[in-house]
Structure formats: C-alpha cells, structure tokens
Homo-oligomer: A and B are copies of this chain.
Amino acid sequence: MPHGACQTFRYNTLRTMQGREINLLGYLLLGLIQQKAASGYDLRKIFSGTPMGRFSDSPGAIYPALAKLEGAGLLAGRVEARRGLRQRKVLRITRTGLSELKAWLKRPVELDDVVRKLDVLMLRFAFLGNVLGDDAARRFLRQLEAHLKTHVASLKEFLEGHGPAMPVSGRLALESGAMGYEAQLRWASRAVVAYERLKEKVT
C-alpha cells in the first residue's frame, strides 16, 4: 500500500505508457507506410531528405522500430529479391496496423499536447485528411484553434505579469515562443477556412 500515491507534481509528460504500446516513431512509420509501402532504407531517405523535423535517420532507431511493429502484426514485410542488388524488405500496413493508426489520429487534441508537443500534433494532422477524411481534419483544426487561443492568452498573461522582472534576453526568448504560437493560431484559422471552402466546392 503506497501512502504517497498523491503528489503535488503530475509529471509533465504525455502518457507514453511504455512497454507494448506504439511510440511516436512507430506511428510515424505506420503513417508513412500507409501512404506508400516502403523499406527501412526508403524511410531513412525520407527522414534525411525532407524537412520532416526532428526525426533521425539512424538505422539503430528505424530498424528496431520496424521489427517491433512487424512483430506486433501492424506491418507485414515481404522480401523483394531484386536483380543483383541486396534484397530489400518492403513493408506494408496490415488491417490491424491501419486501425491502430486511425485510433491514434482520432485521439482528441489536448491542451497539454498543444503546449509541449505541437510538432506531434502537426504530424498527426499531416496524416489525418488522408486517412480519416476532411471532416475529421476540420474537427481537429477547430480543437487545435481553441486550445491555441487559450495558450496564447495564458502566455501573454504570464509575460505581462513576470516580463518586467525578467532579464531582457529571457523575456525576448519567451516572447519568441508566444509569437510562434500566435503564428500557429493564424495558420489554424486559415486552414479551417481552406477546408470549409473545400467542402462548399463539393456541396
């Protein structure tokens, strides 16, 4: 019976719930392979060649992650014997894999994600329209917009309260963060409009 079960701090982390669950890299791989079947090498090239942000093209990250997903039945690999070149294992997403991906994409947008893991949200959004359709993308954007408004407001409040007492460079650094979120907010609002127009066209 642990008596210290309720602490002041609630660790600042997304519930990763390590172990059997799929992590960020796993979902990214799932999403990319869903778009187009690919080998580990293909994926490494995507990471090194496109502005895909923070992801490393290191084999020590990608191959074990792929092996884990294949072991869990979310990906199915087929070895392609090709003329001459070393054989490559092309991975396809399975039905289970696709439904796991969809479940991830369907998760509601939390304020905490907006504050600490905005890049992850943008990654989810990048797959969203493709996998779940435009309606889901619009819903996502509206949730994102609402949380961004809240967060920008609280950053500004913090700056007004603590800013004058902070060293110049510290305050400027914080302002840069606030401006970044404001830019995201403007983008989200514009993106909502873009999607609404898309819908009208169809209607």
Contacts and interface: CB of A to CB of B under 8 A. Distances in A.
B12 A48 contact: yes
A12 B57 contact: yes
A56 B11 contact: yes
The interface residues of chain A, by DSSP majority, are classed as helix
A104 interface: no
Nearest to A158: B51
A176 B170 contact: no
Contacts of A117: 54
Q: Please tell me how many copies of the chain the complex holds.
A: 2
Interface string A113-156: 00111000011011111100010010000000000000000110
A24 interface: no
B174 A51 contact: yes
Interface string A150-182: 000011001000000001111011111101101
Nearest to A154: B51
Interface stretch (A70-78, A79-87, A91-99, A184-192): A184-192
Residue from A58, A168, A169, A186 whose CB has the most chain B CB atoms within 10 Å? A169
Which 9 A-B pairs have CB atoms at the shortest separation, nearest pair first? Answer: A129-B169, A183-B183, A126-B173, A11-B58, A176-B187, A126-B170, A12-B56, A130-B167, A122-B173
